[in-house]
Amino acid sequence: MYLKKVKVSDIIVGKYQMRFKSGKMDIEDLAKSIKINGLLCPPSVSSKGKKYVLVFGHRRFEAIKNLKWKEITAIVLEEMEDKDLVIKTLVENIEKVDLTPLEKAKAYQNMIEELKITQEDLASRCGRNRSEIAHHIRLLNRLNTYVFDWLHQGKVSFGHAKVLMELEDKKKRGEVIPARFFEFTLNFYFIIGNVYGIVENYS
């Protein structure tokens, strides 16, 4: 790892960068800050032939492009295999970016599908518990449509969503749980323990 002057045009943004929430105003505000205070924390890149792949610092890089800088000082990491590069990018984004539970779930699912690895392998590479990854991925496949939308909108927490998923296991074949049941749960049971109680008593 070392510092090096790198042309902005030589930096490639990897397809697994997950800055979902960065809007135009967010980037413009960051660009103003960098223009005034300088680039206090350089982006990290990995050498890839004659180019560099962005690993950490997607927002800063977007702000730099907004400022139309031609060259920056970057932290150059050792050249990595594609799988290791993808995993490092994933871990950095999950730890430093305010991703929603569904965004994390999609990220985990994409890693598993693209890299053709198991949940156990991903957990080991990311330093995560396998059950955490499994719970997130289940959100994509097993949530009631209403709860999925509410989770996406931030109306329910990840913890509540996990408990409400158990309702799907309690449905009879072909039976659809009415949306009003979920409304009732959300309106009157805000504590995880209480939601657990509702789920246990539902049949």
pLDDT in tens, the chain (203 residues): 889 999 999 998 866 555 445 556 678 888 999 999 998 889 889 888 889 988 888 889 999 999 999 999 999 987 777 677 777 777 766 666 567 788 888 888 888 887 788 999 888 877 788 998 998 888 887 776 777 787 777 777 787 777 777 666 655 445 555 565 555 555 545 444 455 555 555 54
Neighbouring C-beta atoms of residue 38, cutoff 10 Å: 7
Q: State pTM to two decimals.
A: 0.58
pLDDT for the residue 20 = 47
d(C-alpha 50, C-alpha 134), whole Å: 38
pLDDT for the residue 191 = 44
Neighbouring C-beta atoms of residue 4, cutoff 10 Å: 13
The tokens for 126 are: 């990311």
The answer for residues whose C-beta is within 8 angstroms of residue 138's C-beta and 6 or more apart is: 165
pLDDT for the residue 37 = 92
Please give the CATH number for the structural domain made up of 2-93: 3.90.1530.10
- Annotated domain spans of the chain: 2-93, 100-142, 143-201
d(C-alpha 163, C-alpha 158), whole Å: 9
